[in-house]
C-alpha cells in the first residue's frame, strides 16, 4: 500500500476567472456624472425659471412613459388574471405599476410646470408630445435593458439557472451525503491504514469544469486516475423511493513522480444539465451563457457550502478551465495539486503555523479564483474551513 507523498513545491495550475458579485460602481458613476451635469448647468448661466421648468417637464415625461408602459402591460395581463394573478385585478395592477409614487410624482411635476411661467404653448400639447415620444420608444423597443442589466437583475434576484441548480445540488445531494462522509472515510481507513494517511484529504473533491464537459468514467478521462473501491453506502428513503442509495468512489491518482494519492472525487452532476441545455435548441442557451452560468454555479455553490455548518471541512471544490490544446494528464495534475495543498495545510496546522510556501504564495495573476480577498496570500481554499 502506498503512503501519501510529502508535499513538494509545485506551480499552481492556471485558475479560471470566476466573476465577483457586482458592486455599486454604476451608482457611483451615475453620481459623478450627475455632479458634472449640475456643474455644466451652472456654468451655462440659464435663467433659474427656465431651468426649473425644463427639469419638471423632463421628470413628468419620464413618469408618463412609466405609466404608459404599465398600461400596455396591463392590457396583456388582464387576459391572464386566473393563471398568473389568482383572479385578482388589483394584483395584476400592482405588478404592472410596481412603484406607487409614479402617479403622485407626475401630478407634482405637472403642477410645478403649470406654476412656472409657461412659454405660451398649451400644457396638454406638451404632454401629448411626450406621450407620443414614449409610445414610439416602447413600440420600437428602444428602452429594452442591456445584457449587463439583465445579468445583474437575475443575479440580484437569484433567479438565474445556475442559482437553482446549485441549490438543488446542495439540498438534494450534498446536504445528505457530506455530513456522513467523514464516517465513511474513517471506516475505510481502519481497514486500509496507509491509503488515507492525510485526514485533510478526507473530503469529497467536486470537479467543476467550466466547459461543463463531464466524463462519466474518470479512468477514460485520464489514465493516471484509477478506480479503487466504493466507500460505505448511505441508504435513505427519499421522495417516495425506498432505500435510495448514495455512495462515493475512491480513486488513486498517479502524479508525475509515479506516486499515488487517494481521494474521493466526482463531477458536479448539474453541469451535465447546463451542457445539455446548450445543445438543445428548445433551451435557447448559447455556449457563452453556459460558461457564465457555470461560473455562477461555482460561486453560488461555494457561498451555500460556506454557510453550511454541517458540511464544513467535508468538501473541496475544484473549478478549472480545460486547456485549448488537449493534455493527456491535465485532470490528474489538477486534482493532485489540490491534494498537495490539503496535505500542506495539515502539516502547517500540526506545526502550529500558517501555510506558506512557493507553491501556495501565488502572484496576483494566479489568484483570480479567490472569491474573498481577505484570504490572500493563503492557499486556495474552497472547503469552508
Grid coordinates of 154: 437575475
Name the average pLDDT for the chain.
78
Q: How many CA atoms lie within 13 A of 300 on its CB side?
A: 24
List the beta bridge partners of residue 318.
Answer: 207
| pLDDT at residue 372 tops 60 | no
Q: Are 249 and 258 in contact (CB under 8 A)?
A: no
By DSSP bridging, strand 249-254 and strand 225-230 are antiparallel
Average pLDDT over residues 141-158: 68
Grid coordinates of 194: 496507509
The DSSP H or E segment spanning 327 is: none
Higher pLDDT among residues 284 and 218, named by residue: 218
pLDDT of residue 126: 72
pLDDT of residue 349: 61
Confidence of residue 7 (pLDDT cuts 50, 70, 90): very low
| pLDDT at residue 168 tops 90 | yes
Using a cut of 0.75, tell me whether the model's pTM lies above it: no
Q: How many CB atoms lie within 10 A of CB 311?
A: 21
Contacts of 245 (CB under 8 A, 6+ apart): 233, 234, 235
Q: How many CA atoms lie within 13 A of 263 on its CB side?
A: 31
Grid coordinates of 45: 448661466
Q: Please give the Cα distance from 213 to 287 (Å, whole number).
A: 12
Angle between helix axes 102-115 and 123-140 (nearest 10 degrees) is: 140
Q: Which residue has cell 413600440?
A: 139
Q: Are 43 and 364 in contact (CB under 8 A)?
A: no
For residue 285, the SS3 value is coil
By DSSP bridging, strand 260-267 and strand 315-320 are unpaired
How many percent of the chain have pLDDT more than 70?
74
| pLDDT at residue 93 tops 60 | yes
For residue 354, the SS3 value is coil
> How much is the CA Rg of the chain, to the nearest whole Å?
29
Going 133 to 138 to 142 to 144, the CA torsion angle's sign is: positive
Range of 1-15, 135-149, 183-197, 280-294 with top mean pLDDT:
280-294
The DSSP H or E segment spanning 90 is: helix 89-96
Task: Tell me how far CA of residue 239 lies from CA of 168, 236, 243, in angstroms.
Answer: 14, 10, 11
pLDDT of residue 366: 38
Q: Are 280 and 169 in contact (CB under 8 A)?
A: no
Q: Please give the Cα distance from 359 to 336 (Å, whole number).
A: 13
Average pLDDT over residues 214-226: 92
For residue 222, the SS3 value is coil
pLDDT of residue 15: 66
Interval 337-357: pLDDT, tens: 999 888 877 666 666 654 444
Going 219 to 338 to 245 to 184, the CA torsion angle's sign is: positive
Grid coordinates of 204: 469529497
| pLDDT at residue 294 tops 80 | yes
| pLDDT at residue 170 tops 60 | yes
- End-to-end CA distance of the chain, in Å? 29
pLDDT of residue 121: 57
Amino acid at each position: 500500500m502506498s503512503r501519501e507523498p510529502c508535499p513538494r513545491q509545485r506551480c499552481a495550475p492556471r485558475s479560471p476567472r470566476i466573476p465577483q458579485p457586482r458592486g455599486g460602481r454604476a451608482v457611483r458613476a451615475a453620481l459623478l456624472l450627475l455632479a458634472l451635469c449640475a456643474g455644466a448647468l451652472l456654468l451655462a448661466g440659464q435663467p433659474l425659471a427656465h431651468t426649473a421648468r425644463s427639469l419638471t417637464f423632463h421628470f413628468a415625461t419620464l413618469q408618463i412613459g412609466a405609466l404608459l408602459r404599465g398600461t400596455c402591460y396591463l392590457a396583456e395581463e388582464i387576459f391572464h388574471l386566473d393563471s398568473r394573478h389568482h383572479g385578482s385585478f388589483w394584483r395584476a395592477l400592482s405588478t404592472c405599476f410596481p412603484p406607487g409614487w409614479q402617479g403622485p410624482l407626475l401630478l407634482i411635476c405637472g403642477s410645478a410646470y403649470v406654476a412656472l411661467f409657461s412659454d405660451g404653448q398649451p400644457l396638454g400639447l406638451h404632454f401629448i408630445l411626450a406621450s407620443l415620444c414614449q409610445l414610439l420608444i416602447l413600440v420600437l423597443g428602444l428602452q429594452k435593458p442591456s445584457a449587463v442589466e439583465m445579468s445583474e437583475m437575475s443575479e440580484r434576484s437569484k433567479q438565474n439557472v445556475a442559482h437553482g441548480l446549485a441549490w438543488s445540488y446542495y439540498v438534494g445531494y450534498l446536504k445528505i451525503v457530506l455530513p456522513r462522509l467523514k464516517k465513511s472515510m474513517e471506516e475505510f481507513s481502519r481497514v486500509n491504514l496507509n491509503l488515507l494517511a492525510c485526514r485533510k484529504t478526507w473530503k469529497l473533491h467536486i470537479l467543476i469544469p467550466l466547459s461543463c464537459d463531464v466524463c462519466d468514467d474518470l479512468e477514460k478521462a485520464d489514465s493516471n486516475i484509477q478506480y479503487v473501491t466504493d466507500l460505505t453506502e448511505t441508504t435513505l428513503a427519499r421522495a417516495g423511493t425506498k432505500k435510495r442509495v448514495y455512495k462515493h468512489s475512491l480513486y488513486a491518482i498517479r502524479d508525475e513522480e509515479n506516486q499515488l494519492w487517494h481521494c474521493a472525487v466526482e463531477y458536479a452532476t448539474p453541469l451535465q444539465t447546463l451542457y445539455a441545455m446548450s445543445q438543445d435548441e428548445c433551451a435557447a442557451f448559447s455556449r457563452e451563457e453556459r460558461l457564465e452560468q457555470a461560473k455562477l454555479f461555482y460561486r453560488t455553490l461555494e457561498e451555500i457550502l460556506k454557510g453550511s455548518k454541517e458540511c464544513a471541512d467535508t468538501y473541496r471544490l475544484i473549478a478549472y478551465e480545460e486547456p485549448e490544446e488537449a493534455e493527456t494528464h491535465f485532470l490528474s495534475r489538477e486534482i493532485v495539486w489540490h491534494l498537495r495543498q490539503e496535505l500542506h495545510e495539515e502539516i502547517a496546522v500540526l506545526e502550529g503555523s500558517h501555510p506558506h510556501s512557493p507553491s501556495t504564495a501565488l502572484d496576483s495573476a494566479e489568484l483570480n479564483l479567490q472569491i474573498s480577498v481577505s484570504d490572500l496570500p493563503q492557499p486556495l481554499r474552497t472547503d469552508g474551513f
